[in-house]
Structure formats: structure tokens, C-alpha cells
Amino acid sequence: MATGTAMFDLSGKTALITGSSQGIGFALARGLAQAGAAIVLNGRDTTKLSDAAATLRAEDATVYELAFDATDNAAVAASIDGFEADNAIDILINNAGMQHRTPLHEFPADKFEQLLRTNISTVFNVGQACAKHMIARGAGRIINIASVQTALARPGIAPYTATKGAVANLTKGMATDWAGSGLNCNAIAPGYFDTPLNAALVNNPEFSAWLENRTPAGRWGKVDELVGAAVFLSSDASSFVNGHTLFVDGGITACL
């Protein structure tokens, strides 16, 4: 087994990141590429996907594009199986997700169902499709993107909170079922990061002031600050870490 900084080297590995044309997904794709991995970008918007791929290729990354709807189980399986016919996916980061903010007693039923499909079904669909190949090889890394809302609630996002709690428990289930086959299944729970998903909050002075006072670090997170956790969980450095949710949140879950 590699030692020292070599434990974090991802050279020769291929990583699929869902929802990776922007925001956290793109930052993680770039970070894993810088650690040596070939990258498989995923999204539904082929134009945005191509633009993201071009950016990474200009930085000398090896990049593939795999456009599929992660909520569609059959489409996911077909895409993953097709890619695996010629390439092995060693690392999966389940990042696809959405948010919808409405008081719970007024929350639209269709949005609730959409949140379930986007935030939970995608983790199951892509995780299962990749795991079948990883199990056959006896090795693989799966990282699910949870949230600070995995542990905390906030007004107006109760269904989102429920989905992210489910992601953490599904991660534990993946580890329980698949660790014996050589897979490491963990989650990263970001705190409040300046991303397109959080644009409405970032642009709200009152909320930003509240967040800065509530977070021990005193600020919003920067997406690049998630890269270290992702590289760690993707690498040999975390070989005996399984079923864990790693909070990267500036300390917000550590204090009242």
C-alpha cells in the first residue's frame, strides 16, 4: 500500500461525478483531476456539459462526457454499462441534487416527489449501476453528497432535510452491503457554500449575516474547500473508512 502523500494519488483512476457541469460537482471534478484521476462529467444539459469538459481539458485533464438523467434507472444502467464496456469507473461521486424552499404546510406534492427522485433515487440508481461493476472487480469508491441538513433542520426546507437524512442512511446501507466486496462507501456533508443552488441565500444580506454569526468559521464555504475531503475518500488514505458522513461545514454542526 502507498504511504505518505502517495496515498492521495489518484493517477490511473477514473471518477464519475454526477451533476458536475457546475457548482460543487464541477469543483470536485476539477479537484480529482488535479489529483491525477480521469474524469467522467455527467449532466442533462449537453451544452453545459461540453463547456465544463472544455474547461477541464484546457487544464490538461482527461475528460469523458456522459449525459444521462440520473433519476431514470434504465437510462442510468444503460449509460454506465455502455461506458464500462471499454472503461472502468473506479470512483463515483453522487452529487446530483436540487432544492425547493416552501413552508412545509404549503409544500407542493409534485415538488416533494421531485426532491425524492433527484436527491435520493439518483444515489440509488447510479450507486447500484456502478457498484455492480465495482463488486465484480473487488474494488471501488462511492461518495454521496449529503448536507449540513443531514443533521440539522431549517424553516422552509423540511423535505430537503428528509432527503439528505436518507442519503446518510443509504450510505450506511451501501457500506453494510458492499464493504465486504471491496467497496468504500462514504458521504460528504457540506455546510453552506456559495453555489448556484444557494444563490438566493447568498444574495440575501439578512441570511448571510445570520449564517456568518451562526458558523464558527464566520463565513460561507468556498467550493474548493470540499476537494480535500473528496480526494481523501477517493484514495488509499481512507482504505478503512466506510459508512461515514464527513461534515465540511465550518463548525456549524458542532455548536449551538
Q: Which residues are catalytic, by number?
A: 160
> How distant, in Å, are the alpha carbons of 24, 39, 68, 222 from that of 27?
5, 12, 20, 10
CB distance 16 to 66 below 8 Å: yes
Please choose, from the candidates 169, 167, 198, 188, the residue with its C-alpha nearest in 3D space to the C-alpha of residue 248: 188
Please choose, from the candidates 213, 242, 251, 100, the residue with its C-alpha nearest in 3D space to the C-alpha of residue 161: 100
CB distance 53 to 22 below 8 Å: no
Which three cell numbers mark 71?
433519476
* Long-range residue pairs from 42-50, CB within 8 A, at least 24 positions apart, any chain: 42/16, 42/17, 42/18, 42/66, 42/67, 42/68, 42/70, 42/96, 43/18, 43/19, 43/67, 44/68, 44/69, 45/21, 48/21, 48/22, 49/21
* Long-range residue pairs from 205-212, CB within 8 A, at least 24 positions apart, any chain: none
